[in-house]
Amino acid sequence: MTFQQTPETGSRTAFVPVAVQYRGIQWTRLGFSVWRIAVPVVIALAMGALALLVGGKNPLEIYNMLVREAFGDWARINATLTAATPLLFTGLAAALAFRAGVFNVGVEGSFAFAGLATAVVGTSVGGLPPVLAVLACLIAGALAGMLVALVPALLRTWLGVDEVVSTLMFNFIVVGLTAWLVQSFFLAPGQANSATAYLAETAELAPLVPPGQLSIGFVIALLLVLGYAAWARHSRLGFEFEAVGKTPRFSVAQGLRVRTVLMISMLASGAIGGLGGAVHALGVVHRFSVGFSASFGFTGIAIALLARFNPIGIVIGAIAFGALAAAGTTVQLFVNIPIQLIDILQGTVMMLAVAQFAIPRLRRRKRATSGTEDLA
């Protein structure tokens, strides 16, 4: 028998220790979660197989090649984990916001703007020791990501503006703003395309296993996911996030810190997305250029929805999408298949994941509306 503490609910609610029974692993719930993740993946594979059959290819042979190119040896695993690293950050950023009931679509903008901020800071810290140079770049990335999320967070928290619309629009603003900043102020000398200069060597993240590109950024991402798991399960704020996300009206009635939760969720989501952009700049591309993000923020949304905010699911989803991205480009070199096949697989999984998440909510909202009309 253990005890859990009710959250701080203000003067209207007293502290009441509640006895709870330890239930162990809930196998039924775990099995349902696995089933929920497997359905979109199986449907996506079936649609990809259909496209391959229409193109005269053997789906089993292509899929076997994809698995081999993603996990066949250490070099391929290195490439897969490198591709999964930014997705771990963006998936976690989206999951953190979703946990509080906030559908933050702006992780993509935070990721890109942080990449530019990191590149700018990274070119000017050559005189610092490597640890301080990397730390300065990571802080700059996190602050830049948070800055992108600030205005939508204020609009959502204090004016009730739909965060889906505001964060989506901010993505377009960030795309234009970063291109203008690079072209006007930070363009590398002699560069025709919109790209900054390369980072100072002291600011680059060293590869964990040369010559692969997997860096300590992957370890940072895993530590963040572990921290998220502990925070969500054992902290008061984690409990408040879940309460506000599942029952916002009840949370308001109980005096929970709803506005604080909404504000923190969006800013923290932006900061984590920004860290992802910083790690991508420091460990992989070593500069910022137009097209810096390969839709990492949007893919992170699909990962968070598939995982239902579960930290293990986020790791599995990020590695799965990373494997598709890493193996897809190399398989195309050996077999004459269109690279769009990977886009079909990823797009189908994303579409079904969003449908799984949105349809039940729309049904609940419709039932609530019908109930209100009946009472009227």
Which candidate, 261, 234, 229, places its Cα nearest to that of 247? Answer: 261
- In this prediction, residue 176 carries a pLDDT of 92
Q: How far apart are CA 187 and CA 214, in angstroms?
A: 27
Q: How far apart are CA 274 and CA 109, in angstroms?
A: 9
The span from the first CA to the last CA of the chain, in angstroms, equals 46
Please tell me the total count of domains within the chain. 1
Contact 328, 19 (CB under 8 A): no
Can you tell me whether residue 197 is helix, strand or coil? coil
Note the pTM of the prediction, 2 decimals. Answer: 0.84
CA atoms 112, 170, 245, 158: torsion sign: positive
What residues form DSSP beta bridges with 20?
2
Query: Average model confidence (pLDDT) for the chain?
Result: 83
- Cα dihedral 247, 252, 255, 257, rounded to 10, equals 80
Q: Which ranges constitute the DSSP H helices of 126-215?
A: 130-159, 163-181
361: confidence class by pLDDT, cuts 50, 70, 90: low
Report the share of the chain in percent with pLDDT over 90: 39
Averaged pLDDT, 277-305 = 91
- In this prediction, residue 191 carries a pLDDT of 72
Is the pLDDT higher at 10 or at 59?
59
Q: Name residue 318's amino acid.
A: A
Phi, psi of 119 (to 5 degrees): -65, -40
Strands 18-20 and 2-4, sheet pairing: antiparallel
Residue 96 maps to a domain: yes
Domain limits for position 338: 59-357
Residue 35 maps to a domain: no
Paired tokens of 146: 């948070």
The region of weakest confidence among 110-114, 264-268, 306-310 is 306-310
Tens digit of each residue's pLDDT (9 = 90 or more) over 98-113: 889 888 899 999 999 9
Domain containing residue 112: CATH number: 1.10.3470
Averaged pLDDT, 293-302 = 89
- In this prediction, residue 193 carries a pLDDT of 74
Residue 52 maps to a domain: no
Tens digit of each residue's pLDDT (9 = 90 or more) over 107-137: 999 999 999 999 999 999 988 999 999 999 9
Residue 43 maps to a domain: no
**Most distant CA pair in the chain, distance:** 70
